[in-house]
Chains A and B, each alone.
Chain A
Amino acid sequence: MTLLRFEFIKVFRKRYLVISFLLFTLVNFASIFLTNQGYQPWTLEEEQNKFCIERLCGLIDQQKIDFIIAEDKRLNDTIMLQTFSRDYDPNTYTGYIFNDFMLIHDNLIPNLKYAVDYAYTMRDISIRANENISFYQKQGNSAMVIKNRDILKLYSNRTISSFRNMIPAKYLLFYDFSGLLIILLLVLTLTPIFISEKENRMNQLLTTFPLGEGKLISTKIVFIILVTALYCSWFFLMDLMGFFLFSNLQGLSMPLYSIHEFQITPLVLSIIQFLGLNFFLRMLGMILIAFFISLTSKFLQHVVFAFLGSLFPLILYLVWQPKLHSALHWFDFFNPMFLLKNRNLFLSYNPIVLISVPVQPVFIVLFCVLLMLLLFAFFLKAKIPTRLV
């Protein structure tokens, strides 16, 4: 614990790091603001939120459906006549008749329709899964039988019984910018972690103490994990806070499949539970990246080379975009970016068949990442001969 305290002093007394940390937090807030600028209090969507909360939110019943259809028809008729008032009207939801029409016809009706139709869509999927089971049983394809049974089990009883405005929650789940900032902070924090010992010529001294070099490196590994967890937790909280502040984030207790993009997700979790899982997986991916950065610091002799080497995950994060709903290639399993943008592992049920057993890709990705973590930790612990100056 004492050694760990000194590792924190070594790193967090660097002024540039504290400034970067504060600056990146502000930049993240700015980015969340820009992501959600459609949801600021002076916009149409804010009215949607108010309207939704007052009239539509909560359990979906026939009365609400009838109301929204009637409102849509009324506004549609008014708009069609082309004689509606373009002036501010305090008796409208948004202040203007045309905006009311847009709000209801383009935003609320499609979202409500998705919620109402969801149970029917799932029922269709279940029927097809049942048909597939019979078909594959005849073919003797046990893996596909298991897969379709899983589909049946996953989707057969799903319904969306309540309505909330899920757009801010969707934006939150697709928000990746803070990940980029975390990687940047990790580069700034961890590139000097081993190299500074060489530059200070402390490496000559550190090997001579009774405590041993092994204990020192173990402390550094614990530090790397802790600092990564700290950054991930901080930006997770800042993301949540930012979205609450700038987008009227709501419906976190709704099932994940309430968000249209997660319609056929294999997860039976609420959005808040998925956020927890997302945080955990992202942190694992970040720890792998942190280990990679630390390895460049350990094995490269000059801080500039280590910085350049550390930029590799940053570039990969910027360039790599997972293909939605597509099958995974072998490289994907060793790609920590899959854990950083892990929602793509849960958009659909797309198992990989291993020895006739369908396995969720996330487990294979997790296995590979844990394997790489152990390998990287081994290399971090490895002793390298001191070079004399």
Chain B
Amino acid sequence: MLEVKQLTKAYGNLVAVNHMDIQFRNGIYGLLGPNGAGKTTLLSMIMGALRPDQGDIFFEGASLSKDRKKFNSKVGYLPQGPLFYKEFTGQEFLEYICVLKNLPKFEHVEEVNRVFNEVNLSDAKNKRIGAYSGGMRQRLGIAQALLGDPKVLVFDEPTAGLDPIERIRFRNTISRFSNEKTIIIATHIVPDIESIAQSVVMIESGMIVAHDSPEALMESIKGMVWTLTIPINKIDSYINQYRISNIQLTNQHYLLRIIDEQEPGPDAVQTAPRLEEAYIYMTKGKLYDVASL
């Protein structure tokens, strides 16, 4: 089990992570939050790239501030937007990571082939990384994290640059391991984790605003999501007044999904909430402004 206790990190006056407490057990954890919420800072502290100002992280009961060796040998990490070494071929890069992960030499070839298959990149393994597309590079990043079959996987924005098919493939690959591993995925893209995460931690301004299963989070805003059809000329006033999760143009009218504790109008119909609506509600996110429409 990985446990974060009272973790705090500030950059000058800006508190990026503020007294966070989270327990990560086996399963998939989605860290949801807008850009700048503190997700990457939290992951960087977990991975040892940043030193916390306060608090500590524990892995299987042992403090990581005292010894990271055991944790480092059991974790796979994909940081945000790595470019890797463009001079290496994919195969060489993964062999290099095998060495850095201290994997036995006789396992290298088999292990590299296994993860190449996992991310569907076997055909490109002898190509230079410089010739990889953004999506291929991201898949290579996922592959390097999977090397050595680590107990903990930490992904920071893992689906950035992946096309829809690759995203589905990533989700399916990750889901297969969720039973026996702790998987932490930091993202601001809700569909990435909606269907696979057992637990979602919503972060806003360095603080946890909600932490529960996706179902429970959706349940928590039950009765607060409404659909409403309005004339086109009334859209501005609705945008200023409500948090709207979706706007759809239908037959000279707008069909809105509104998140609000009160019924937004006599014609409004209650509807089943989605996870992203829970996210908008919890993080008080305002999705549209008039000027952008």
Contact = CB atoms under 8 A, between A and B. Distances in A.
Contacts of A389: 80-81
Given A200-B85, A385-B50, A388-B40, A208 B75 contact: yes
What class of interface size applies to chain A in its complex with B? Answer: 20 to 34
Interface in B69-104: 69, 72-73, 75, 77, 79-85, 87-88, 92, 96-97, 99-102
A17 to B, nearest CB: 10
Contacts, number: 81
Contacts of B77: 205, 208
Interface in A113-156: none
Contacts of B73: 210
B245 interface: no
B69 to A, nearest CB: 6
A355 interface: no
A6 interface: yes
Contacts of B82: 200-202, 204-205
A206 interface: yes
B293 interface: no
Contacts of B96: 6
A222 to B, nearest CB: 15
B50 A386 contact: yes
Nearest to B50: A386
Given A200-B84, A204-B82, A205-B79, A211 B101 contact: yes
Contacts of A201: 79-83
Interface string A212-226: 100010000000000
Nearest to B83: A200
Contact of A386 (B44, B83, B87, B88): B44
Nearest to A205: B79
Contact of A6 (B40, B48, B92): B92
A2 interface: yes
A206 B73 CA distance: 13
A201 B137 CA distance: 13
B85 A208 contact: no
Contacts of A3: 99
A388 B87 contact: no
B41 interface: yes
Contacts of B81: 201, 389
Contacts of B85: 9-10, 196, 200, 202
A14 B130 CA distance: 11
Contacts of A388: 40-41, 44, 49-50
A202 to B, nearest CB: 6
B51 interface: yes
A10 B72 contact: no
Interface string B34-72: 000000110010011111000000000000000001001
A208 B48 contact: yes
Contacts of A196: 85
Interface in B99-149: 99-102, 144
Closest 10 CB pairs of A and B: A13-B87, A209-B100, A204-B79, A210-B73, A386-B49, A200-B83, A201-B82, A210-B72, A210-B102, A6-B96
Interface of B: 40-41, 44, 47-51, 69, 72-73, 75, 77, 79-85, 87-88, 92, 96-97, 99-102, 144
Given A205-B82, A206-B100, A208-B75, 11 more contacts: A200-B82, A200-B84, A200-B85, A201-B79, A202-B85, A208-B47, A208-B49, A209-B101, A211-B100, A211-B101, A388-B49
